[in-house]
């Protein structure tokens, strides 16, 4: 547990639970409970099931019931049953699980790991302690990425770390996967390498698109965009996030870009929609000019 980064309150609660008593829990990351299991030597009286594979009532009646109904003879520990992807279980399976939780509360504890709490029945939620795992803070993630890069002899630059955090949005697993993909290129993992592995244009390319559409005549901007840009690689969120313009202008621009993204999802022509992006930016420029006048 000492190697886990972030979520200090949850980790401290889990440490106390190992010393006093273990409550039933609904949680998110699998890593935390795997580490708790190893640290407290629960491997001999622990059963882990991935309920996204076996989501029906049969696995609850057979595997879970059989394991929960037995007792440990010498260790005096609770039986620990970890149900990963518990939100994939059917309602009938969850109802059967609720009855097992009630019947074997003296010798078994249950840990339900899920992504969507709303898919867990209220009857089970009311019997569990709920732990929510928000995205990691930027400082925590960058510290851990630096340690991983050092241990794996990967040259990771500061702008590369920032790009990894930007794409992962606080998800350490996504950041590590992207770091591994970028390191396989054999180059220094910098911002450009991360963007290339993620399939997005570099920030300078996005700035070029904005410069063409906001500062050049529309025909010239459209020609430059057709020659240099691919609409499938345009990050609309990044395109509008850093624009310095009034909120009412930005709202109108976001509305037009959302229409472009919807039409792209319906299979519209990429070149035609790229022209629509340029037209949206040109309209925002004209509206901004009218406000200043």
Res 7 pLDDT > 60: no
- Domain 8-130 homologous superfamily, CATH: P-loop containing nucleotide triphosphate hydrolases (3.40.50.300)
Per-position b or e across 157-178, b if 16+ CB within 10 A of its CB: beebbebbbbbbebebeebbeb
The per-residue pLDDT for 230 is 62
**Distance (Å, rounded) from C-alpha 158 to C-alpha 125?**
42
Convert the pLDDT of each residue in 237-268 to its tens digit: 666 766 777 888 888 888 888 898 888 888 88
- Average pLDDT score over residue span 204-212: 76
Quote the radius of gyration of the chain (alpha carbons, Å). Answer: 26
Contacts of 232 (CB under 8 A, 6+ apart): 264, 270
Q: Is the pLDDT of residue 219 over 50?
A: yes
Domain boundaries, the chain: 8-130, 138-198, 203-292
- The confidence score (pLDDT) of residue 16 equals 43
Q: Quick one: pLDDT at residue 27? A: 42
Of the candidate CATH numbers 3.40.50.300, 1.20.272.10, 2.102.10.10, 1.20.120.1460, the domain formed by 203-292 belongs to: 1.20.272.10
Overall pTM > 0.75: no
pLDDT mean over 188-210: 81
Where do runs of H (alpha helix) occur along 76-190?
A: 91-103, 122-125, 138-151, 158-168, 172-183
Residue 20 above 70 pLDDT? no
pLDDT at residue 158 greater than cutoff 90: yes
Region 33-41: mean pLDDT is 61
Name the band, by pLDDT with cuts 50, 70 and 90, for residue 231: low
**Band of pLDDT at residue 171, cut at 50, 70 and 90:** confident
- Assigned architecture for domain 138-198: Orthogonal Bundle (1.10)
Residue 146 binned pLDDT confidence (cut-offs 50, 70, 90): very high
Please state, as a whole number, how many other Cβ atoms lie within 10 Å of the Cβ of residue 44: 8
């Amino acid at each position: 547990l000492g190697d886990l980064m972030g979520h200090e309150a949850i980790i401290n609660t889990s440490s106390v639970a190992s010393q006093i008593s273990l409550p039933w829990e609904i949680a998110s990351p699998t890593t935390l409970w795997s580490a708790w299991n190893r640290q407290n030597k629960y491997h001999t009286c622990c059963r882990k099931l991935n309920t996204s594979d076996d989501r029906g009532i049969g696995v609850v009646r057979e595997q879970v019931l059989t394991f929960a109904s037995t007792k440990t003879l010498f260790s005096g520990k609770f039986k620990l049953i970890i149900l990963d992807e518990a939100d994939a279980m059917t309602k009938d399976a969850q109802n059967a699980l609720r009855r097992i939780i009630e019947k074997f509360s003296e010798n078994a504890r249950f840990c339900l790991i899920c992504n969507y709490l709303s898919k867990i029945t209220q009857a089970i939620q009311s019997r569990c302690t709920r732990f929510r795992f928000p995205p990691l803070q930027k400082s925590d993630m960058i510290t851990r990425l630096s340690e991983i890069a050092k241990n794996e002899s990967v040259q990771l630059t500061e702008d590369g770390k920032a790009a990894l955090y930007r794409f992962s949005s606080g998800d350490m697993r996504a950041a590590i996967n992207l770091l591994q993909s970028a390191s396989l290129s054999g180059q220094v993992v910098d911002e450009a390498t991360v963007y290339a592995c993620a399939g997005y244009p570099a920030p300078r390319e996005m700035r070029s698109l904005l410069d063409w559409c906001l500062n050049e005549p529309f025909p010239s901007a459209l020609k430059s965009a057709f020659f240099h840009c691919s609409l499938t690689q345009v990050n609309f969120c990044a395109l509008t996030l850093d624009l310095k313009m009034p909120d009412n202008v930005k709202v109108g621009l976001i509305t037009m870009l959302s229409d472009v993204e919807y039409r792209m999802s319906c299979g519209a022509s990429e070149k035609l929609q790229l022209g629509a992006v340029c037209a949206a930016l040109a309209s925002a420029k004209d509206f901004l000019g009218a406000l200043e006048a």
